[in-house]
Amino acid sequence: MRVVTNERRVKRGRMMGTIMFFFSLFVLTGGLIFTNFVAISSEALFFVPCLVMPIGLIATIASVRLTNAWVRQPRPDAMLKEGLRGINRRSVLLNFFPGNPHVLITPHGVYSVTTRFQQTEFKVQGERWTNARARGPLGPIFLYMKQEQLGDPFEDARKERDQLQALVDKALPDSGVQVEPMVIFTDPRATLEIIDPAIPVAYATPKKRPSIKSLLREDRRDKQQTEFRELDDDEIIILENAVVALVPENQHTGLTEEDVD
């Protein structure tokens, strides 16, 4: 399997997270110093905190969100790479491309991979998700401050699938290739209770079941019992080039490529 990663986008996300962290620290510290050590009128003493605190809070939340997306370990691309070791060598995993964070192209299918970094306990039944940490009156507040809300993984997965499907239809018109979405939890500490999910859900790590590799194996087995036609090498290359083309050509130096056995 080949892995192509848009490292330029990763570095930009990390840089923005660092900038927002220091900006929020500057705003909150500066506001504290200003109100306590600078001689100002009582009216200004009232309005300065009202201005500084919301700005500092918004900057802090933005910093935490960017940190979760681009700095937090383990990185989703690294976990997907490890979890997919040993699959068909003609496969390609593409990470952090515009509109399609993770795309897996294999001879037996094209997959949009929607990831979640959360590490707590979740239950999914049909379309409904339950987060163990969201229980109680304060649970949602703490999750928001840490920017660890689960959101709607299925809605995100469908959006990413539709965006990738449009790309596939343009690159291989009339091919009949249907993009298949999946939701993958990249932190091995996550615990999932999965009951008839609307979209396949699995772990990235092969040490837990279901894993992304076991999902692919099962999907391939089901397709082999039908008249499904595998993608040939030329079609795989065309689809890979279509995803890579989402990045301007002058930024292709920021793409890294490696072979994974």
212-244 pLDDT, tens digit per residue, is 999 999 999 999 888 888 999 999 999 999 999
Helices (H), 146-211: 153-171
Write down the pLDDT at residue 136: 59
Return all residues near 153 (Cβ < 8 A) that are at least 6 apart: 114, 116, 129, 183, 199, 201
116 and 209 in a single domain? The answer is: yes
Tell me, rounded to whole angstroms, the distance of Cα 175 from its chain centroid: 28
Q: How far apart are CA 46 and CA 36, in angstroms?
A: 12
How many domains is the chain partitioned into structurally?
2
- The answer to whether residue 1 sits within a structural domain is no
Mean pLDDT, all residues of the chain? 89
Q: Report the residue count for the chain.
A: 261
Task: Give the domain range for residue 210.
Answer: 74-259
pLDDT at 207 over 90: yes
Of the two residues 153 and 146, the one the predictor is more confident about is 153
Q: What is the CA radius of gyration of the chain?
A: 22
User: DSSP character for 253?
Assistant: G
155 and 113 in a single domain? The answer is: yes
Of the two residues 125 and 151, the one the predictor is more confident about is 125
pLDDT at 257 over 70: yes
Write down the pLDDT at residue 18: 93
140 and 173 in a single domain? The answer is: yes
Strand order in the sheet with 100-106: 201-203, 179-185, 109-116, 100-106, 92-97, 2-6, 255-259
201 and 126 in a single domain? The answer is: yes
195 and 94 in a single domain? The answer is: yes
- The answer to whether residue 94 sits within a structural domain is yes
65 and 80 in a single domain? The answer is: no
Last-in-domain residue among 55, 70, 85? 70
pLDDT at 185 over 70: yes
Q: How far apart are CA 228 and CA 256, in angstroms?
A: 32
3-state secondary structure of 95: strand
For residues 223 and 176, is the Cβ–Cβ distance under 8 A?
A: no
Phi/psi region, residue 34 (left: phi>0; alpha: psi -120 to 50; beta: rest), is alpha
pLDDT at 135 over 80: no
64 and 82 in a single domain? The answer is: no
The pTM is what?
A: 0.89
Report residue 138's pLDDT band, with 50, 70 and 90 as the boundaries: low
Comparing 43-47, 50-54, 155-159, which segment has the lowest mean pLDDT? 43-47
Query: Six-digit token pair at 83?
Result: 């979890």
86-120 residue pLDDT tens: 999 999 999 999 988 999 999 999 999 999 999 88
